[in-house]
Structure 1
Amino acid sequence: MEHFKHLLTSYFGPLNDQELDMIQSYFYEEKLTKNSFFTKTDKVCDKLSIIKSGILRIYSLSEGKEITQWIASENYMMTEVLGFFFDRPNRWNIQAYNDVDLWTIAKTDYLKLCRDFPKWIDIEKQLMLKCFVMIENRIFAHLSMTAQERYEMYFEQNSLLFNKVPLQHIASVLGMSPETLSRIRKHHAQTS
């Protein structure tokens, strides 16, 4: 669990041993097998997790076509925001791409943690702000960068995923067709 404590401090800044132990006591280890679901569209997500190992894919169906919104790997926090924070039906499916190990907190325990550990509200605020910045960066990239630039930025940040998940999922995350991604990858390989 030292890895878990290290992750907490990297996400939320300095926490003392007593605070880390308290937070950790609310989480449990969970395993998902390949292709099983963390949560599904139209359900209400009742947990928040940190990925210890493995890959989760966040996607939805639109007119019979899968749209991959994000691919999350080790050390990412994971939940479906509408379900977990607003008790509304999920917009996204979250599925294990391979076997996944998680540290998970149930919604009921999350609410207890907020009550029992008031500092958690500040921690949660930091997390939300980090998520907001990440979303802003993605929107900015889609509005202002070329497909080539989006590819290069994503590849720099997530190069290991390119050998682990189908390229059509990465193309979807980047907002481009698989053919465009293939053409960009070929050009990138020739110029590197």
Structure 2
Amino acid sequence: MLELRKSIIETFEFTEKEFESIQGFFKPKKIKKGDYFLQTGQYVNHLGFVENGILREFLYENNKEITKWFSTSGYFAVDLSGFVYGQTSKVNFQALSDVSLLTLSKENYDIIGDRLPRWNKLEKMFLTNCFSVLENRVVSHLSMNAEERYSQLFKSQPELFNQVPLNYLASMLGMTPETLSRIRNKLSKSIS
């Protein structure tokens, strides 16, 4: 709960009192490596906050797995449109390690709006934060070459490179595993 407290208070400018009024709505959930938090076609009735571990968000496109994102400690995991609009998920969230989550049901998410007078502002900040992350990813894919995307991810989340299979990283970065290996080798030689 400590990581959630820090994230909500710092990122969304909650007061300590406001956080205390909603923390009971978050329920702990453990997911074993290889199991799913959410699968394509399931109704999205929970969002998750990763306390520790790694969830891989992916979808199938033309019979191929495409990795969209890795939710690590301090990140939320949710198919946002499915959650907000009560629809089925278009993506899967699979545990790449044992994962500890704090989950919030859609029902409790809506109740929080009744409890906190300024929830609309806080909810707007949450959604803006989600879209900012997405926008940054789109811009990086459009404006950066493969080596620059690799370097940016390595600088922001270096732990992924020791914990996540390279083919998943390559997929998220929009490159083949072979290209990722060439970039890794090139950059490691330039460091030596």
Whether TM-score is above 0.5 comes out as: yes
Q: Quick one: distance in 2 between partners of 1:124 and 1:8? A: 11
Q: Distance in 2 between matches of 1:128 and 1:56?
A: 20
Aligned pairs for 1:134-173 within 5 A: 134-173=133-172
Cα distance in 2 for partners of 1:128, 1:82 equals: 11
Deviates more, 1:179-188 or 1:22-31: 22-31
Q: Which residue of 2 aligns with 1:4?
A: 4
Match of 2:41 in 1: 42
1:114 corresponding residue in structure 2: 113
CA displacement at 1:8 relative to structure 2: 1.4
For 1:27-176, what aligned pairs fall within 5 Å after superposition?
27-176=26-175
TM-score normalised by structure 1 residue count: 0.95
Q: Cα RMSD (Å) of the superposition?
A: 1.2
Cα distance per residue 1:21-51 (max 9 Å; x no partner): 1121211111111111111101111111210
2: distance between equivalents of 1:166 and 1:36? 16
Percent sequence identity is 36
* Secondary structure of 1:20 counterpart: helix
**How much has 1:118 moved relative to structure 2?**
2.6
Aligned partner letter, 1:2: L
List structure 1 runs of 4+ shifted beyond 2 angstroms: 1-4
Query: Which residue identity lines up with residue 7 of structure 1 in the other structure?
Result: S
CA distance in 1, matches of 2:73, 2:145: 28
Structure 2: any 5+ residue segments left out of the alignment?
none
8 A contact 1:42–1:91 mirrored in 2: yes
**Cα deviation 1:164-189 (Å, max 9, x = unaligned):** 01000000110001011000010010
Instruction: Return closer, same or farther for 1:4/1:133 CA change in 2, 3 Å cut-off.
Output: closer
Could you tell me which runs of 5 or more consecutive residues in structure 1 were left unpaired when the two chains were aligned. Answer: none
Check 1:190–1:135 CA distance in 2 against 1; reply closer, same or farther (3 A cut).
same
**CA–CA distance in structure 1, aligned partners of residues 91 and 3 of structure 2:** 28
SS for the counterpart of 2:49 is strand
Number of residue pairs matched by the alignment: 191
The C-alpha deviation readout for 1:110-168, integer Å capped at 9, x for no partner, is: 11111221322211111111111111111111111111111100110111010101000
- Distance between the aligned counterparts of 2:86 and 2:29, measured in 1? 22
Looking at structure 2, the residues matched to 61 and 145 of structure 1 have their Cα atoms a distance apart, in angstroms, of 24
Letter in 2 for 1:113: I
- Give deviations 1:50-73, integer Å, cap 9, x for gaps: 100000000111222111111111
